[in-house]
């Protein structure tokens, strides 16, 4: 990230120098996909791709947002947020709803959100399943926290950002992405139980590299089947309650119980529930495999997770499947799967560090040969959560 350029653009735009620079990372998820809204555990990693916001207070109360990557600017006024309008009364553009949603939630909770000049840029590709939106939310929440003179635990900040996305942007996402961007730990994955909200950092074994492969297919969760998947899980819970009255989420359902009652479930909720219940079990096994540095188990779990997202949850794409299949013949590959919501975006690959460069070249070339598309394939590192530079 070119911080000098960010500094320069801010100064050019606002006629003054920034006083703060916030960095909020994107994330990959090693395993535990579509389980965070089913009260299950997840294993994300905050990465060294992030949103950077340069900021300075604006004493007239207005927040002026400049999205450098889009070359667009919008002014926010607190009293217009509820109607999703900018300061001039025009509907907010989609990109501005993330910071605006954070301000809206913070105001509802009576946290001060002073006016601010903010210019931001990101090297988390948008719509690629690496949580660019959560990074924007968490970055702005941290910014208003610093300027507003109040203080919240990182996890509580992440929860407010999730609420902004659920209620303002309209995506019924779980807490994983905002959590990872807020609480990331360098060189570690994060085992996060979305029910108890307890979490622990899990070291990534030495010698294992994280490689991201971008299928180049973009999606927006506001328009994809994401909310539909969530609704199907709820339907599965409701149908199961006829037999298991104590069940309040799919986290409560044991694999044996699901096997016993699945013949009585409607087809789509049955498939979605089967993915979720088995994926929850896989997360626990993946944590142990990471702790043991057991490459074989890690690989088997990741490929099984991908197959389940393809066949049962039906969120993969031919491009993501190709990226995963190609890895089976590449040097040093431990395991691969799609990461994030799916419907396009990226895969995450665990690779022996010594073979990482050959692996990257092999996957890039193979993908181009099979699909005719270019794939960005690159190493990433586990990074710390939101912080000020």
Q: What is the x/- site pattern for ligand GLA, positions 177-216, by CB under 6 A?
A: x---------------------------------------
* Closest CA relative to residue 287, chosen from 31, 12, 13: 31
Q: CB of residue 350 vs ligand GLA: minimum separation in angstroms?
A: 18
For ligand GLA, which residue of 142, 158, 176, 189 counts as binding (CB under 6 A)?
176
Q: Which stretch binds ligand GLA (CB under 6 A): 171-179, 231-239, 255-263, 367-375?
A: 171-179
In contact, 183 and 385? CB cutoff 8 Å? yes
- Contacts with ligand GLA by CB under 6 A: the residue count is 11
Residue the block writes with tokens 């190493």: 379
Q: Which is nearer to ligand GLA, 47 or 173 (CB)?
A: 173
Q: Which stretch binds ligand GLA (CB under 6 A): 149-157, 169-177, 327-335, 380-388?
A: 169-177
For ligand GLA, which residue of 23, 34, 64, 154 counts as binding (CB under 6 A)?
34
Q: Is 173 one of the binding residues for ligand GLA (CB under 6 A)?
A: yes
Q: Is 25 one of the binding residues for ligand GLA (CB under 6 A)?
A: no
Q: Which is nearer to ligand GLA, 299 or 340 (CB)?
A: 340
Q: Which is nearer to ligand GLA, 117 or 179 (CB)?
A: 179
Q: CB of residue 180 vs ligand GLA: minimum separation in angstroms?
A: 10
Note if 86 is an active site residue. no
Q: In sequence order, what are the residues at sequence separation of 6 or more whose Cβ sits closer than 8 angstroms to the Cβ of residue 56?
A: 10, 14, 16, 17, 18, 19, 20, 116, 117
Q: Is 124 one of the binding residues for ligand GLA (CB under 6 A)?
A: no
Q: Which is nearer to ligand GLA, 55 or 135 (CB)?
A: 135
Q: What is the x/- site pattern for ligand GLA, positions 332-361, by CB under 6 A?
A: --------xx--------------------
Strand partners, 91: 85
Q: Which is nearer to ligand GLA, 92 or 130 (CB)?
A: 130
Q: Which stretch binds ligand GLA (CB under 6 A): 28-36, 147-155, 206-214, 306-314?
A: 28-36
* Closest CA relative to residue 120, chosen from 246, 21, 19, 208: 21
Q: In sequence order, what are the residues at sequence separation of 6 or more whose Cβ sits closer than 8 angstroms to the Cβ of residue 207?
A: 352, 353, 354
In contact, 303 and 336? CB cutoff 8 Å? yes
Question: Of the residues 36, 48, 86, 177, which is catalytic?
Answer: 177
Q: Which stretch binds ligand GLA (CB under 6 A): 56-64, 66-74, 120-128, 170-178?
A: 170-178
For ligand GLA, which residue of 174, 332, 362, 385 counts as binding (CB under 6 A)?
174
* Closest CA relative to residue 35, chosen from 285, 305, 330: 305
Q: CB of residue 178 vs ligand GLA: minimum separation in angstroms?
A: 8
For ligand GLA, which residue of 9, 10, 30, 37 counts as binding (CB under 6 A)?
37
Q: Which is nearer to ligand GLA, 340 or 385 (CB)?
A: 340
Taking the C-alpha atoms of residue 43 and residue 10, their distance in angstroms, rounded to an integer, is 36
Taking the C-alpha atoms of residue 210 and residue 203, their distance in angstroms, rounded to an integer, is 13
Instruction: Tell me the pairing of strands 199-203 and 116-122.
Output: unpaired
For ligand GLA, which residue of 18, 23, 30, 36 counts as binding (CB under 6 A)?
36
Q: CB of residue 165 vs ligand GLA: minimum separation in angstroms?
A: 7
* Residue 266: count of CB within 10 angstroms of its CB: 11
φ/ψ (deg, to 5) at 204: -80, 125
Q: CB of residue 167 vs ligand GLA: minimum separation in angstroms?
A: 14
Taking the C-alpha atoms of residue 197 and residue 177, their distance in angstroms, rounded to an integer, is 14
Mind telling me the catalytic residues? 177
Q: What are the residues binding ligand GLA (CB under 6 A)?
A: 33-34, 36-37, 131, 173-174, 176-177, 340-341
């Amino acid at each position: 990230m070119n911080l000098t350029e960010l500094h320069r653009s801010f100064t050019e735009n606002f006629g003054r120098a920034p006083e703060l620079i916030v960095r909020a990372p994107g994330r990959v998820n090693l395993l535990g996909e579509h389980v965070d809204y089913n009260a299950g555990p997840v294993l994300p990693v905050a990465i060294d791709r992030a949103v950077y916001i340069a900021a300075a207070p604006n004493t007239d109360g207005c927040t002026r947002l400049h999205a450098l990557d889009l070359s667009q600017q919008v002014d926010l006024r607190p009293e217009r947020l509820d109607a999703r309008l900018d300061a001039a009364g025009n509907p907010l553009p989609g990109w501005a709803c993330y910071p605006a949603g954070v301000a809206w939630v913070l105001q509802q909770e009576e946290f001060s959100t002073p006016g601010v000049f903010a210019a931001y840029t990101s090297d988390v590709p948008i719509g690629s399943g690496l949580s660019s939106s959560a990074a924007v939310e968490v970055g702005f929440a941290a910014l208003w926290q610093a300027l507003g003179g109040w203080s919240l635990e990182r996890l509580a900040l992440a929860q407010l950002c999730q609420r902004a996305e659920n209620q303002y942007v309209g995506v019924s996402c779980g807490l994983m992405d905002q959590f990872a961007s807020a609480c990331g730990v360098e060189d570690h994955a994060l085992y996060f139980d979305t029910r108890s909200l307890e979490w622990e950092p899990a070291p990534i074994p030495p010698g294992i590299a994280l490689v991201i492969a971008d299928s180049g297919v973009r999606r927006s969760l506001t328009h994809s089947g994401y909310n539909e998947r969530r609704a199907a899980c709820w339907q599965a819970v409701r149908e199961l309650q006829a037999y298991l009255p104590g069940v309040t989420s799919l986290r409560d359902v044991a694999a044996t119980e699901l096997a016993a009652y699945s013949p009585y479930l409607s087809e789509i909720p049955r498939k979605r529930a089967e993915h979720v219940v088995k994926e929850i079990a896989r997360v626990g096994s993946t944590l142990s495999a990471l702790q043991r540095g057991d490459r074989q188990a890690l690989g088997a779990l990741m490929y099984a997770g991908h197959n389940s997202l393809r066949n049962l949850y039906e969120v993969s794409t031919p491009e993501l499947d190709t990226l995963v299949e190609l890895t089976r013949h590449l040097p040093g590959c431990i395991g691969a799967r799609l990461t994030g919501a799916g419907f396009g975006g990226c895969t995450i690959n665990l690779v022996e560090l010594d073979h990482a460069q050959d692996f990257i070249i092999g996957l890039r070339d193979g993908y181009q040969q099979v699909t005719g598309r270019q794939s960005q394939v690159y190493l990433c590192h586990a990074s710390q959560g939101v912080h000020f530079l």
